[in-house]
Amino acid sequence: MISWRQRLERLFVFHGRQLEALVARRVKDRDVAAEIVQDVFCRVLRAGSHGTLDDDTKVLYASARNAAIEHGRMETRRGRILGALRPEQMACEPAMPDAVASGRAAVAALQGALNELSPRCREIFLLHRVENMPNAEIARRYGISVSAVEKHLARALRHCQSRLAAHLGPG
């Protein structure tokens, strides 16, 4: 008795090119078709056998056809989205040297302000602002109340705002 992997290898040898041709007719790109078929074989390998050799062959063809259809839908959606963009939305103007220098100075000032905080206050602030960790989870991690977390966050925010006032401008 052959293993599932061996059966799938045989199916690939006997049907791989036919599946690629089937998919290529839909997606109009042989390289993309080859990638889609390879992905289909990987998914079918993980899913396991569906019974007989005939059943597994039918699953491969149906999966390849469905993957080609889904690829076409994604391409249509992508084209519709890109087609709706105005040229100014797609173009990115190069950063001016003074803006780059100002941005770097602001980042350095923020790093300095964060380094001035107590380690616990800095860690709580970064967990909340960078890691998007909820206050309740931070409180559990540090064994403090949610109110204490909020006070640490307020303290860190006030401190950073005061240190970055020159970079933030009027506000």
- Do 33 and 84 fall into the same domain? yes
Question: 89-117 burial, b if ≥16 CB within 10 A, otherwise e?
Answer: eeeeeeeeeeeeeeeeeeeebeeebbeeb
pLDDT values of the chain reduced to their tens digit, one per residue, 171 residues: 788 888 888 998 999 999 999 999 999 999 999 999 999 999 888 888 888 889 999 999 999 999 999 999 999 888 888 888 777 666 667 778 888 888 888 889 889 999 999 999 999 999 999 888 999 999 999 999 999 999 999 999 999 988 888 766 665
Spatial CB neighbours of 73, under 8 Å, sequence gap ≥ 6: none
Rounded to whole angstroms, what are the CA distances from 27 to 11, 80, 95? 22, 17, 38
- Do 84 and 101 fall into the same domain? no
How high is the pLDDT of residue 90?
A: 66
Domain boundary among 68, 88, 108: 88
- Do 44 and 111 fall into the same domain? no
How high is the pLDDT of residue 168?
A: 66
Question: Is the full-model pTM beyond 0.75?
Answer: no
How high is the pLDDT of residue 67?
A: 94
End-to-end CA distance of the chain: 75
- Do 72 and 111 fall into the same domain? no
How high is the pLDDT of residue 86?
A: 75
Nearest to 169 by CA among 89, 93, 103: 103
How high is the pLDDT of residue 91?
A: 66
Range of the domain at 9: 4-88
